[in-house]
Amino acid sequence: MENYRGYFNKILQVFFPNEFDKIIADTDRHYSTISVSTAFAITSKNPIDKRLDFSAYFLALIKTLDEKGESFDTIRQICLQIVTAYVQPKNKAQAFFKRLLPKLTNTLFGQILIKQFHKRTSTNSNSEGFIANIITDKTETFGIGYGIDIIECGICKLFQKYNYSRYASILCEVDEITSSLAGLKLIRSGTIANGAKKCDFRFKREI
């Protein structure tokens, strides 16, 4: 089991104490099918693809709760509680490194990392994965010198493939939380999940 499963279990036990075992069993059953579509991510050279296994389990849970008859709002609430708990730093060291990475953008080491990241994210050998461009122009990135344009979203492709596109935007909401943990405020004009042509990630440093 991947380490994220514990976060699902903890929240689902709170919401469904009497139906927990069945919900987990149904989620695991759906995941066994959905995860076939994301198996490529394990060996993908594109680092953003690594989040697709997590997304596949999310989709499996969403499918389970939807079939159970839960409302969109309830499913959204459960999903956001799970992912919010998951992305929180687990210790002081993790919290430190989350805030350290943005500070490296204007260093030589940081620029090397950004170039390598762009090289690996701007193409994808699998049509079901992510494609992203890294933006380094300071005039376009509030002086930080780092931004991301997601051109093709692997999560949206996955949810669309299984006819659950309307739920994909739930995961977009978490980006503000992860940005804040890095000491940044997310500035975004749109997401692919909500009909935009790209997901533009721009950041401002929090005071």
pLDDT digits (tens, 9 = 90+) for 37-76: 999 999 999 999 999 999 999 999 999 999 999 999 999 9
DSSP state at residue 71 = -
What's residue 104's pLDDT? Answer: 86
DSSP letter string, 105-151: TTSHHHHHHHHHHHHHHS--SSTTS-EEEEE--GGGTTTSS-EEEEE
Which of 1, 45, 41 lies closest to 24, judged by CA? 1
Write down the residue that tokens 């909500």 correspond to.
194
Quote the number of domains for the chain: 1
What share of the chain in percent tops pLDDT 70? 99
Q: What share of the chain is helix, strand, coil (3-state, %, to 5)?
A: 60, 10, 30
Domain that holds residue 163: 5-205
CA gap 82, 28 in Å, rounded: 16
**Vertex 95: Cα angle to 148 and 83 (nearest 5):** 65
pTM of structure:
0.93
Instruction: Please enumerate in sequence order all residues whose Cβ is within 8 A of that of 6, keeping only pairs 6 or more positions apart, or say none.
Output: none
